[in-house]
């Protein structure tokens, strides 16, 4: 088990957002958190990253174990250094820096000192970024910006990568490209936890799935075997 949340409760000020959440990611697996708007998907990923802290008037209780280390109450930089990569919702890349500068700024050794991901490896996985190497972030297409955001996450050589709604606002053809990228990532031994509303994308990239509603897990199982009535109930329009 690379990640194990147990009894996690999360709060913004006095608003209680996550309720007794249990969630696990096996090493090498790809897991999805599915749910409608505002159910707590981003809050779950932010809790893992240590972003619900007193500085942000937020808090987390319970246990979040990553490779045998307790993450609750650890500062974000230590969680990142321990090997958790994070691609926040809304692709936060540097708009005034080029693709290459964005990548180089993110580079750092993994927890074991390895620097597997360098520019060459990144351009192998994202050939379109190579062609756009000297283009400023703001001038990239939505799809290219998302690829760059994921690539920045990889430049930190994480063991586990958290991807928050990477399909948001992208055309179906670009979403298909992202499916390929995420599938190829798994062959590089990166474990993946994605938060999504896009059921089709989640089905294509994840093996296991948690459905959440109002901050609680309401369903867990193999993604390919989620009953249609469950999808309708929790994710239908």
Ligand X SMILES: Nc1ncnc2c1ncn2[C@@H]1O[C@H](COP(=O)(O)OP(=O)(O)OP(=O)(O)O)[C@@H](O)[C@H]1O
Q: Which residues make up the interface to ligand X (CB under 6 A)?
A: 12, 15, 17, 35, 37-43, 89, 165, 197
CB of 180 to Mg ion, least distance (A): 23
CB of 37 to Mg ion, least distance (A): 8
**Residue 196 contacts which entry, ligand X, Mg ion, none (Cβ below 5-8 A, type-dependent):** none
Q: End-to-end alpha-carbon separation of the chain, Å?
A: 34
Q: Residues 122, 210, 2, 30: is their CA dihedral positive or negative? A: negative
Given the rule CB under 5 A, which residues bind Mg ion?
A: 41-42, 89
Choice between 59 and 197, CB closer to ligand X: 197
Choice between 26 and 220, CB closer to ligand X: 220
**Residue 37 contacts which entry, Mg ion, ligand X, none (Cβ below 5-8 A, type-dependent):** ligand X
Choice between 37 and 187, CB closer to ligand X: 37
State which residue has the least CB distance to Mg ion: 42
Structure tokens at 60: 């987390």
Per DSSP, helices labelled H in 58-198 are: 76-82, 99-106, 119-125, 127-131, 142-154, 172-186
CB of 40 to ligand X, least distance (A): 4
211 forms bridges with which residues in the sheet? 34, 219
**Residue 167 contacts which entry, ligand X, Mg ion, none (Cβ below 5-8 A, type-dependent):** none
Q: Are 64 and 8 in contact (CB under 8 A)?
A: yes
Choice between 89 and 141, CB closer to Mg ion: 89
Choice between 91 and 159, CB closer to ligand X: 91
SS3 of the chain: helix, strand, coil, percent, to 5: 35, 30, 35
CA distances to 163, 177, 202 from 103, rounded to whole Å, are 17, 20, 26
């Amino acid at each position: 088990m690379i990640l194990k949340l147990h009894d996690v409760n999360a709060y913004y000020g006095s608003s209680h957002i996550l309720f007794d959440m249990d969630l696990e990611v096996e090493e090498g697996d790809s897991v999805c958190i599915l749910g409608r708007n505002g159910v707590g998907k981003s809050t779950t990923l932010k809790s893992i990253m240590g972003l619900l802290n007193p500085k942000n008037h937020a808090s987390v209780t319970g246990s979040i174990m990553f490779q045998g280390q307790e993450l609750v109450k650890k500062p974000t930089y230590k969680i990142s250094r321990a090997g958790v990569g994070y691609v926040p919702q809304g692709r936060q890349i540097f708009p005034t820096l080029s693709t290459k500068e964005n990548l180089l700024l993110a580079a750092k050794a993994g927890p074991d000192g390895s620097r597997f991901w360098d520019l060459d490896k990144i351009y192998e996985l994202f050939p379109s970024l190579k062609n756009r190497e000297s283009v400023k972030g703001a001038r990239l297409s939505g799809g290219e910006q998302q690829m760059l955001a994921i690539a920045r996450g990889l430049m930190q050589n994480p063991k586990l990568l958290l991807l928050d709604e990477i399909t948001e606002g992208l055309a179906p053809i670009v979403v298909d490209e992202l499916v390929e990228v995420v599938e190829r990532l798994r062959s590089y031994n990166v474990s993946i936890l994605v938060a999504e509303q896009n059921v089709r994308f989640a089905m294509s990239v994840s093996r296991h799935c948690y459905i959440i509603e109002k901050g609680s897990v309401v369903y867990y199982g193999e993604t390919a075997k989620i009953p249609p009535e469950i999808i309708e109930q929790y994710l239908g329009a």
